[in-house]
Amino acid sequence: MSLIYLDNAATTRPSTAALDAMRLIGTGDAFANPASQHAAGDAARQTLEGARRTVAECLHARPSEVEFTSGGSEANNQALLTGAAHGAREGRRHIVASAIEHPSVLRCLDWLASADGPYGGGFEITLVKPQPDGVVAVEDVKAALCEDTALVSLMYANNEVGAVQPVREVCRMCRKRGILFHTDAVQAAGHLPLDFTRDGFDLLTLSAHKFHGPRGTGALLCSHRIVPASLVHGGAQERGHRAGTADVASACGMAAALREATNNLEADRARLEALRERLVAQLERIDGARVLGPSLPERRVGGIVAVTLAGVDHESALVLLDGRGVCVSAGSACAAGAVEKSHVLAAMGVGDEEARTYLRISLDAAENDEADVDAAAAAIADVAATLRTRAREVGRG
C-alpha cells in the first residue's frame, strides 16, 4: 500500500538539500564545538555563522538578529519573555494575543499571568477572537490595546485553518504606540514572502521542519532595537542569549532548506493553490462537507485545507484513512497524538458537534500531486459514507 502523506502542516520530509548540508558537517573540521578556541572550532564557528547569514538573507534581517533555537516552541517562549521583560522594565504589564495562537504561545501567556510567573508574574492577558473565517480584525486588536500594553503577539498564519493574519497592519499600529510586536511565523516561513526589516517586526519565530528542514531546530529573529531575554542559562552561546553547544549541522540544514524554499516560493505557491482548488472542488461534492477558513487566496496558506464532515467523527475517520494509507490530521500535532478539542475552531464560533468532525489536510508542492489529491478525496468520501452508515445502523439497533 502506497502512502499518501497529507499532514505537511505538522511536519515535512527533510529535503535533499537540507540532508546534504547536514552531512557535510561530518566530512571536515566543522564537526567541532564552535565555541572552542582552535582551528577546528573556528571552522565550525564559521560554518554556523554562514548558516546564520543565509537565514538572515532569506528573511531580510541582519545576521545579528538571528538566534538559533530548538524549534518554534522555544522561540515563541523566548519571544514572549523578551516582550514581558521589556514591559516590566517600563512598568507595563499587559499583553495582547489572538485566541487562535499556537499552544506554545497560549501556555506561556498563562505562565506570565500566574502569580509565580517570571518578572513578578501577574501580567494581564487579553485574547482577541477571530472572525468566523479565522482572520483577526485589526480593529479588534486596536480595541484591546491600552496604555499598559507592552507586547502584541499575532501569528502570521494559523496552523489549523490556514488563515493569514493582518500582521503588517497590526505591527504598524503597534510601532506608532511604542508596543513591541511578535509574530509566530512557523506556518509562514518558506511558504509566504517574509521581510523582517521592511515590515518592522520586533520578534519573529520559525521552525525548520515546516519547510523541509530538520526537526528540533528553529530560530528567533529579534530586532537590533531590543535585547532578547535568556530562556536557557549557562554559557555565552548565541551572544549570551541562549546557553548550550550550538547544533551546527541542524542550523546548516535549516539554512539550506529555507534558501531552497525561498527560491521556489512563487512557483510552489501557484502549484499549491492549483492542488488546493482541485481538492476543495472534490470535498465540496461530499454530502455535509464544509470547508473552513478564508475564501480569498491572499488570506490563506495554500497548502492547508480545513473541512468538517457532518455526522463523521474525526477520530474514527483518522483511523480508517490511516488504514488506507492516507495521512491527515484533526488539528495541531502538539498533543502527544491525542485528538483534543480545537481552541481555534471554538474561537471561530464552530460548535462542539461540528468541531468533532474536523479534518486538516495539508499539501506540499514538492511532495504531492494531482493523483494524491484525487485518491485522498475519494478515500475521505468513502470513509464518510462508511461512518454515516455505521451510525445509522447503531441508531436503528
Is the four-CA dihedral 166, 90, 144, 123 of positive or negative sign? Answer: positive
Supply the pLDDT for residue 336: 43
**Segment 120-155, tens digit of pLDDT:** 999 999 999 999 999 999 999 999 999 999 999 999
- Partners of 180 in the beta sheet? 151
Instruction: Count Cβ atoms below 10 Å from residue 169 Cβ, excluding itself.
Output: 13
CA–CA distance, 25 with 105 (Å, rounded to integer):
33
Residues 270-297, mean pLDDT to the nearest whole number: 96
CA–CA distance, 365 with 272 (Å, rounded to integer):
5
Residue position matching grid coordinates 517570571: 118
Of the candidates 131, 118, 192, the residue with the CA atom closest to the CA atom of residue 157: 192
Exposed, middle or buried, 324 (CB in 10 Å: 0-12/13-18/19+)? middle
Of the candidates 357, 256, 247, the residue with the CA atom closest to the CA atom of residue 20: 256
Residue 339 reports pLDDT greater than 70: no
Confidence of residue 346 (pLDDT cuts 50, 70, 90): very high
Residue 322 reports pLDDT greater than 80: yes
Supply the pLDDT for residue 232: 83
- Residue 378's contacts (CB-CB under 8 Å, 6 or more residues apart) are 282
Query: What does the radius of gyration of the chain's CA atoms come to, in whole angstroms?
Result: 22
Residue 263 reports pLDDT greater than 50: yes
- Partners of 164 in the beta sheet? 157
**Domain extent listing, the chain:** 4-12+265-396
CA–CA distance, 220 with 64 (Å, rounded to integer):
11
Question: Mean pLDDT score of the chain, rounded to an integer?
Answer: 94
Enter the pTM of the model.
0.95
Helices (H), 336-369: 343-347, 352-355
Confidence of residue 290 (pLDDT cuts 50, 70, 90): very high
Is the four-CA dihedral 65, 70, 71, 76 of positive or negative sign? Answer: negative
- Partners of 68 in the beta sheet? 219
**Rounded to 5°, angle at Cα 309 from 304 and 311:** 155
Higher pLDDT, 391 or 318: 318
Q: Which residues are catalytic?
A: 334
- Residue 74's contacts (CB-CB under 8 Å, 6 or more residues apart) are 218, 220, 231
CATH code of the domain occupying 4-12+265-396: 3.90.1150.10
